[in-house]
C-alpha cells in the first residue's frame, strides 16, 4: 500500500485564490444579472505589447521551418535571453551578475515554490506577515513548518515578521535567528516597500547570521521612488546571501504566457557547497527549459520598442492604482501602497474582518478584492485591491464603493 505525503493534509483550506474564485462563482450563479468587477487576483488585463507579439509571431514561423526549428531549449535558458536579462536588469544597474547566474524558468510562482527543495528539512523560514501564500505553503508541503494553530493561524516552526501600519509595513529583524528569509519587495500584498538603505540592513543581517534571503522582485517594474532598490544585488554583499526571483508576468503581462527567472550567484555557498550548482542540477533533472517562442518574447521585452511599450503599460496600471487609492481616501478609507506597486492595501471599516468585508463588497458593490487575512494573521482587518484591472473597471469599482 502506498503512502501519501502527509504534509499535504496539514494545509488549511485551499489555495487563497482558488477559494476566492469558488466564492465568486457561487455568487455569480446565484446572481446572474450582476456585473462583477474583479480586482482580486493580480492578473493583468492589457494585451501583450506589439513588439512582443511581433517576436512571438516570428518565433512561431521559425518553428515551421526545418532550418530554424527548435526542439528542447537549453535547460537553464537560451543565451540570447540570459544575456539580455543580465545587460538590462543587472549590468545597467552596476550589479556584477553574469549570464550563467540566470536560470530561466516558466515563471516566478514555480521558482518561489520549488526553491525550498535546496534546503534541509529542519531549517527555519522567516516570512513577512502578511505574505504571498506560496512561500509558506510550499514549505508546509515539504514538512518544515511544524504544526498549524487554527486560532492564531500560525505554524509553530515559522518565524513571522508582522508588517502592519504600526511599523509602516517594514519587517523588523526577528528575535529568533532564521535560516531562510523570504522578502517580496515591492510587497505583495501590502503594495508597500522599503528603501535601499533598509534593504542593505537585511543583507548585512543575513551575511552576519549566515542566513539566506529569497528575494522576490516580481513587482520591480512598478517602483517609482528613487531610493528603492530595483534588485537586491544593488546592495553590497548580496551575492553571498541572496537568491533573486523575477517574473515577466507583471512587467510584461506574461501571466498567461509564462516566463520568469531566478538568479543564483556563484558566490552563494552553504558550508562550501554551491547553491548555483545545486539549482543547476535540479533544473537539469526536473525542467526542460521554457519554450523557445516564449524566450524570444522575453528577449523582446528588452528591445527598445518593447521597453517603451511596457513603460506605457506600467503607467496605465499605476494610473489605476492612483484612481483606486484616491477614491478610497475620498470614501474615508485608510489606504496604503499603490506608489511602488500595483496593489492597494486598505484597512477594513468598522472593525470588519477581512472576509466580512469581502462578502460585503461582493454583495453590495459587486466588486471582488482579496481578504488580507488570506495572506496571514497580520493581514486580518485589511483588504487588497489590484490595479491590474482595466481603467474603466477601476473607475467604476470606485464609484460603486463610494456610493455604499
Distance CA 381, CA 65 (A): 57
Pick the piece of the chain touching ligand MLT (CB under 6 A) from 37-45, 161-169, 361-369, 389-397.
Answer: 37-45
For residue 156, count CB atoms less than 10 angstroms from its CB and return exposed for 0-12, middle for 13-18, buried for 19 or more. Answer: exposed
Tell whether residue 316 is among the known ligand binding residues.
no
Residue 188 interacting with ligand MLT (CB under 6 A): yes
What is the DSSP secondary structure assignment for residue 53, as one 8-state letter? H
Which of residues 105 and 188 has its CB atom nearest to ligand MLT in the complex?
Answer: 188
Buried b (16+ CB within 10 A) or exposed e, 218-244: bbbbbbeeeebbbbbbbbeebbebbbb
Tell whether residue 148 is among the known ligand binding residues.
no
Per DSSP (E only), the strands in 54-191 are 102-105, 125-129, 148-149, 154-155, 158-162, 180-184
> Cell 496593489 maps to which residue?
343
Residue 42 interacting with ligand MLT (CB under 6 A): yes
Tell whether residue 297 is among the known ligand binding residues.
no
Tell whether residue 219 is among the known ligand binding residues.
yes
Residues 6+ apart with CB under 8 A from 167: none
Q: Which residues 252-291 are close enough to bind ligand MLT by CB under 6 A?
A: none
Other Cβ atoms within 10 Å of 127 Cβ, number = 29
Report the residue from 41, 142, 305, 352 that binds ligand MLT according to the rule CB under 6 A: 41
Q: Which residue is nearest to ligand MLT (CB)?
A: 42
Residue 109 interacting with ligand MLT (CB under 6 A): yes
Which of residues 42 and 253 has its CB atom nearest to ligand MLT in the complex?
Answer: 42
Which of residues 133 and 265 has its CB atom nearest to ligand MLT in the complex?
Answer: 133
Which of residues 241 and 314 has its CB atom nearest to ligand MLT in the complex?
Answer: 314
Asked if 146 and 156 count as a contact pair (C-beta separation under 8 A), the reply is yes
Distance CA 111, CA 329 (A): 36
Pick the piece of the chain touching ligand MLT (CB under 6 A) from 36-44, 97-105, 137-145, 354-362.
Answer: 36-44
- Residue 307 beta carbon to ligand MLT: minimum distance, rounded to whole angstroms: 22
- Residue 271 beta carbon to ligand MLT: minimum distance, rounded to whole angstroms: 33
Q: 295 vs 99, 107, 292, CA distance in Å?
A: 15, 12, 5
* Residues at the contact surface with ligand MLT, assessed by CB under 6 A: 41-43, 109, 132, 188
Binding-site positions for pyridoxal 5'-phosphate: 72, 108-109, 132, 188, 219, 247-249, 258, 288
Binding-site positions for substrate: 15, 42, 109, 132, 188, 288, 384
Amino acid at each position: 500500500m502506498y503512502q501519501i505525503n502527509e504534509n499535504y493534509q496539514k494545509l488549511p483550506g485551499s489555495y487563497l485564490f482558488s477559494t476566492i474564485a469558488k466564492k465568486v462563482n457561487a455568487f455569480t450563479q446565484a446572481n446572474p444579472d450582476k456585473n462583477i468587477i474583479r480586482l482580486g487576483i493580480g492578473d493583468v488585463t492589457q494585451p501583450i505589447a506589439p513588439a512582443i507579439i511581433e517576436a512571438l509571431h516570428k518565433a512561431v514561423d521559425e518553428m515551421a521551418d526545418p532550418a530554424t526549428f527548435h526542439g528542447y531549449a537549453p535547460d537553464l535558458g537560451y543565451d540570447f535571453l540570459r544575456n539580455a536579462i543580465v545587460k538590462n536588469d543587472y549590468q545597467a544597474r552596476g550589479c556584477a551578475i553574469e549570464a550563467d547566474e540566470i536560470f530561466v524558468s516558466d515563471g516566478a510562482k514555480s521558482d518561489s515554490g520549488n526553491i525550498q527543495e535546496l534546503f534541509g528539512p529542519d531549517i527555519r523560514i522567516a516570512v513577512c506577515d502578511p505574505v504571498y501564500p506560496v512561500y509558506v505553503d510550499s514549505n508546509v508541503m515539504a514538512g518544515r513548518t511544524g504544526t498549524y494553530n487554527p486560532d492564531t493561524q500560525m505554524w509553530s516552526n515559522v518565524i513571522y515578521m508582522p508588517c502592519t501600519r504600526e511599523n509602516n509595513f517594514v519587517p523588523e529583524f526577528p528575535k529568533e535567528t532564521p535560516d531562510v528569509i523570504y522578502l517580496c519587495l515591492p510587497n505583495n500584498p501590502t503594495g508597500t516597500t522599503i528603501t535601499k538603505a533598509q534593504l542593505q540592513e537585511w543583507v548585512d543581517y543575513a551575511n552576519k547570521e549566515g542566513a539566506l534571503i529569497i528575494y522576490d522582485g516580481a513587482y520591480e517594474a512598478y517602483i517609482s521612488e528613487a531610493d528603492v532598490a530595483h534588485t537586491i544585488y544593488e546592495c553590497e554583499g548580496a551575492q553571498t546571501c541572496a537568491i533573486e526571483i523575477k517574473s515577466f508576468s507583471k512587467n510584461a503581462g506574461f501571466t498567461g504566457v509564462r516566463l520568469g527567472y531566478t538568479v543564483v550567484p556563484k558566490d552563494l555557498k552553504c558550508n562550501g557547497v554551491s547553491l548555483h550548482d545545486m539549482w543547476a542540477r535540479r533544473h537539469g533533472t526536473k525542467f526542460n527549459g521554457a519554450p523557445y517562442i516564449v524566450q524570444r518574447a522575453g528577449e523582446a521585452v528588452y528591445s527598445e520598442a518593447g521597453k517603451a511599450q511596457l513603460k506605457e503599460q506600467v503607467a496605465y496600471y499605476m494610473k489605476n492604482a492612483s484612481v483606486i487609492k484616491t477614491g478610497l481616501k475620498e470614501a474615508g478609507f485608510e489606504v496604503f501602497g499603490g506608489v511602488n506597486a500595483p496593489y492597494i492595501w486598505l484597512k477594513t471599516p468598522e472593525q470588519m474582518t477581512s472576509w466580512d468585508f469581502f462578502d460585503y463588497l461582493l454583495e453590495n458593490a459587486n466588486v471582488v478584492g482579496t481578504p488580507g487575512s488570506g495572506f496571514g494573521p497580520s493581514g486580518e482587518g485589511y483588504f487588497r485591491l489590484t490595479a491590474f484591472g482595466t481603467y474603466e473597471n477601476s473607475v467604476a469599482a470606485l464609484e460603486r464603493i463610494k456610493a455604499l
